[in-house]
Amino acid sequence: MFLTVLDFGRSNEMLPGLSAGFGRHPDLRIKYVDENEDEIGKAIPETVIAQLDTHIDLFGSNRSYGGWAQDDIQAMFHTVYVVLRDTGRRPREVCALPLECLEIEGGEYSLIYHNYKKQRLRRRLPVTAATAAEIQTWQHRRAGLPLPESAREWLFPAMTDRASRGHLATNKLTSVMRAWINAIPILHGDLPGPDGTPLPFDRSLIFPKAFRFSYAQRHADAGVPVEVLKELMDHRDISTTQRYYSISLKRKREAIKVMDRYVHDRTGAPAAAGSVAAYELRSVSVPFGNCREPSNVKAGGKACPIRFQCAGCGFYRPDPSYL
């Protein structure tokens, strides 16, 4: 507010006694961090999502919402969950979906949404027929519900005309989801306990934005090229997309098997790594290949006594991984 008053006074020449050096400057602004790094990598495991699917009928139960019947409330939140899970859109993008958010062309469905974070409107995302059917079922049911005038254009309407926006609020979605997660009797994680039974999953890791990470991880595990996933996530920078998923051990093994065929020592003899662990723990990247000298590996490649003379070193393993 202070800076707004200052700009207004400057533009209207109402601050003649104020020094010209007293004002806002671009270099003094705190840089905005594009992505929340605390959330990166928090993909919900597919085994946990499968358990959530079996308890979907509890989502929105025992809640009030604008005088709707309980079945209608649960039907709306059921659809919200399906869209979050299947499309990987941000919570606000899901909550603010327009009523006519489906487009069909050549028998294939696309979801029309607005990327509010980057101010890119009417984006299109391919969706499956099953996801489209869930949305259409809700559209048909929604048509018979009493809605405030401000909510007419939104797929997921707000409760009353007093809402700041006409659509479902993201904080409302978060609170209803938290109540749902806490109401599920048992949620098993992927890790086994001492007796071999699965350990309980940390429920605090389940929140609306986490389904976006799960979407990215699911597509990465399926072998979707990163440049295609970048478009599905609606990112401009491919490095942003790469931070949304981790490389599975299975894909690492496949990559090592391919690379092993081309790894040689300095005499030209084959020098396969043998395993993923050996490749990662016993080598460090150097120009045109890898180095296996123990002290240099331990120092992360910063303790080589003959730097830039790899070709004459017995620990040098040339391979095409640098490409």
Q: Which of 205, 240, 267 is the last residue of a domain?
A: 205
- Is the sign of the CA dihedral 202, 207, 210, 211 positive or negative? positive
Nearest Cα to Cα of residue 123 among 151, 99, 103, 150: 103
Q: Give a yes or no: residue 60 inside a domain.
A: yes
- Per the listing, tokens 């005499």 go with 267
Interval 219-263: pLDDT, tens: 998 889 999 999 999 999 999 999 898 876 566 666 656 666 666
Q: What's the whole-number mean pLDDT along residues 15-42? A: 62
The pLDDT tens digits for 102-147 are 999 999 999 999 999 999 999 999 999 999 999 999 999 999 998 8
**What is the arithmetic mean of pLDDT over 39-43?**
63
> Whole-structure pTM over 0.85, yes or no?
no
pLDDT in tens, 270-308: 656 556 565 666 678 888 888 888 888 888 888 888 877
Whether the CB-CB separation of 243 and 217 falls below 8 Å is answered with no
Are 161 and 268 in the same domain? no
- Residue 246 in any domain: the answer is no
Find the CATH number of the domain harbouring 159. 1.10.443.10
Q: Are residues 68 and 184 in the same domain?
A: yes
Confidence of residue 37 (pLDDT cuts 50, 70, 90): very low
Partners of 198 in the β-ladder: 192
Residue 136 CA to residue 144 CA, distance in Å, equals 13
What pLDDT is stored for residue 25 in this prediction? 63
Q: Which domain covers residue 94, as residue numbers?
A: 46-190+200-205
In a domain, 41, yes or no: no
Among the three residues 144, 178, 205, which one is the final residue of a domain in this structure?
205
103 lies in some domain: yes
157-213, pLDDT tens digit by residue? 998 777 778 999 999 999 999 999 999 999 999 888 888 889 999 999 999 999 999
- Same-domain check for residues 183 and 53: yes
pLDDT at position 40 is 46
